[in-house]
Amino acid sequence: MLLQIDKKQIDPDITVLEFTGKISLGRESQRIETLVNELLAEKVSKLIFDLSRVDYIDSAGLGIMTYCYGAMKTAGGTFRLAGATGRVLKLFQFTHLDSHFPFYDSVQAACKDLVS
């Protein structure tokens, strides 16, 4: 399955990008960076990536996550990853990126952290 991206707004000011499919090298995944840049232009400051329906991520996908985290941080925003499981979570753990990104079991847990 190619990558599907859905955008949700959670009150008061949290944006969630829900991903379904694969985050890997290619045009589909490059849309993530473009979308994050558009959100930053709209002054979005709290962003959660919901990875619960991502079944594959490669090194290019990890690079995209790193870029998005850095872009949000540079803009003064906050970035959270939520719902990663299975092979996706294991890749973050294997590369030790799980210790650099704020990870949460669910979008709800990430939201709770952002509003507290």
Ordered by start, the domain boundaries in the chain are: 4-115
pLDDT at 34: 96
Q: Is the pTM of this model over 0.85?
A: yes
> Per DSSP, what are the bridge partners of residue 46?
78
Cα first-last separation, the chain: 36
pLDDT at 1: 64
- Give me the average pLDDT of each 10-residue run along the chain (116 residues): 92 94 92 97 97 96 96 97 96 94 95 89
Q: Which CATH architecture has domain 4-115?
A: 2-Layer Sandwich (3.30)
DSSP-derived letter for residue 105 is S
Q: How far apart are CA 111 and CA 95, in angstroms?
A: 25
- In this structure, what token pair is assigned to residue 42? 């709209």
